[in-house]
Amino acid sequence: MLRNCRRPWLSLGSLRGIRCVTRRAPSLRREAGELVKPTTAGCVLPCRAAVAWEAGKPLVIEQVEVAPPQAMEVRMKVKYTSLCHTDLYFWEAKGQTPLFPRIFGHEAAGVVESVGEGVSDLAVGDHVLPVFTGECGECRHCQSEESNMCDLLRINTERGVMLSDGKTRFSINGSPINHFLGTSTFSEYTVVHAGCLAKINPLAPLDKVCILSCGISTGLGATLNVAKPKQGSSVAIFGLGAVGLAAAEGARIAGASRIIGVDLNPNRFEEAKKFGVTEFINPKDHDRPVEQVIAEMTNGGVDRSVECTGNINAMISAFECVHDGWGVAVLVGVPSKDAVFMTKPINVLNERTLKGTFFGNYKPRSDLPSVVDMYMNKKLELDKFITHRLPFSDINKAFDLMVKGESLRCIISMED
């Protein structure tokens, strides 16, 4: 049954294990002499998912049942997923509220398998990227050009259920398994609110553009949409993981002349050159605060800084290293829930600006298709972010690689 659910429409034999709750069991039929693929819409689908049962313990590939999508929901077949540091924080649950058992994963690409009632702009077969923060299209934020903080679908790290009925769509032997960020992409099938899915160019290779579903769009947008460096300016990037390197890529595209990369992991520095980083600082190499080192290098501070570490001290340094008068610092890293940001108010009086962003201020449904097109038009390179590829059965190796700081993005293929 475990294997059968993986391609439910391939043969009648493969339909075993699918329970249909709202319609008759799927069967092959003929229309005008042609054999028509059976639909699995309305059925409970058994499939493989990587379940986190406990904080910090390896995920276990289990057979889960995925309920059909309810009103305004979509069930998608996940084709590729990758690991972002936010998955790691909530799996480790050190500085975050623990919620287990849970299916993590939020950076992915896939295909619509079925849609719930009321979903009119997505159809079976559409290629989609799920996003951890959504766009209902109607609230004040969705109506505002300045915000992507949708009232209905904005990121909620503590919710493990679907909005419409407060229940999960995942279960094992009838026991519910929690969702994560409304996406839970470490599963062959997942149910997502339609407002959290961006429909993309069907020609885009899903095994590459999946990384646009979180990290790369976030870093890119943090620079292009929020920090907005001017041509010839200096930009400091804290944290040279995939998000930080995407922020560096944004600075390069914006025409920054100096891009200063800051990271505690010296192995990042060589890689960062490919992303236009021109100078490097490892805070461990200095006996004075990194903001002081940067002020000395730049005659008073950088024009812009983008923090992509999640570390509170790096966040404070990112603000303290910008220039008086015009400096803008943008926080991107997800802090631990008890972290408190402290700085001297005089820094603000001295006309510096502190900002933060989720998903690089992109509106997921409206803006993400054009970020995919930036890749298709060769304005944005994605290959250099992809350092590893693994089959789904080896997902725990992807966690190890990120914990050790050895990977930027590891693409996990759900069909292997």
Ligand X SMILES: NC(=O)c1ccc[n+]([C@@H]2O[C@H](COP(=O)([O-])OP(=O)(O)OC[C@H]3O[C@@H](n4cnc5c(N)ncnc54)[C@H](O)[C@@H]3O)[C@@H](O)[C@H]2O)c1
Residues that are catalytic = 84-86, 106-107, 136, 139, 142, 150, 154, 214, 409
CB of 57 to ligand X, least distance (A): 20
Residue 225 sits in the site that holds ligand X (CB under 6 A): no
The answer to whether residue 310 forms part of the interface with ligand X (CB under 6 A) is yes
299 by Cβ neighbours in 10 Å (0-12 / 13-18 / 19+) ranks as: exposed
For tokens 């407002």, name the residue: 195
Does residue 179 interact with ligand X by CB under 6 A? Answer: no
The binder of 275, among Zn ion, ligand X, none, by C-beta within 5 to 8 A per type, is none
Range 138-142, long-range pairs (CB < 8 A, 24+ positions)? 142/363
Q: d(Cα 326, Cα 50) in Å, to the nearest integer?
A: 47
Q: Does 238 bind ligand X (CB under 6 A)?
A: yes
| Among 264, 259, 233, residue whose Cα is nearest residue 248 | 259
Residues 45 and 374: their CA atoms lie apart, in Å, by 35
Bridging pattern class, strands 353-356 and 328-331? parallel
Q: Phi first, then psi: what are they for 47, rounded to 5°?
A: -160, 175
- How many binding residues for Zn ion (CB under 5 A)? 7
**Residue 139 binds which of Zn ion, ligand X, none (CB < 5-8 A, kind-dependent):** Zn ion
- Is 101 in contact with 177 (CB distance < 8 Å)? yes
Binder of ligand X out of 62, 188, 249, 263 (CB under 6 A):
263
82 is a contact residue toward ligand X (CB under 6 A): no
- 5/196 with CB nearer ligand X: 196
Which span (17-25, 35-43, 194-202, 327-335) binds ligand X, by CB under 6 A? 327-335
What does each C-alpha distance from 209 to 130, 217, 402 come to in angstroms? 11, 10, 20
Selected range binding ligand X among 31-39, 85-93, 298-306, 320-328, rule: CB under 6 A: 85-93
59 vs 150, beta carbon nearer Zn ion: 150
Q: Distance between CA 243 and CA 251 in Å, rounded?
A: 13
State which residue, 7 or 404, has the beta carbon closest to ligand X. 404
Q: Pick from 43, 47, 61, 136: which binds Zn ion (CB under 5 A)?
A: 136
Estimate to the nearest angstrom the gap between the alpha carbon of 150 and the chain centroid: 17
Residue type (1 letter), 156 = N
327 binds ligand X per the rule CB under 6 A: no
| Pattern 103-142, ligand X, x by CB under 6 A | ----------------------------------------
CB 241 within 8 A of CB 334: no
Please tell me whether residue 162 binds ligand X under the rule CB under 6 A. no
Please, are residues 250 and 223 in contact by the beta-carbon 8 Å criterion? yes
Nearer to Zn ion, 40 or 96 (CB): 96
What values do phi and psi take at 4, rounded to 5? -60, -35
Interface residue with ligand X among 82, 185, 213, 311 (CB under 6 A) is 311
User: Which residues in the 7-46 window bind Zn ion by CB under 5 A?
Assistant: none
Asked if 262 is part of the footprint of ligand X (rule: CB under 6 A), the reply reads yes
Q: From 45-53, 76-84, 162-170, 392-400, give the range in contact with Zn ion by CB under 5 A.
A: 76-84
Residue 368 makes contact with Zn ion by CB under 5 A: no
The answer to whether the CB of 212 falls within 8 A of the CB of 413 is no
Q: Decide: 134 and 196 in contact? Cβ < 8 Å.
A: yes
Nearest to 358 by CA among 339, 337, 340, 331: 331
Residue nearest to ligand X (CB): 241
Residues found near ligand X in the complex (CB under 6 A): 84-86, 89, 214-215, 218, 238-244, 262-265, 268, 283, 308-311, 313-314, 332-334, 357-359, 402, 405
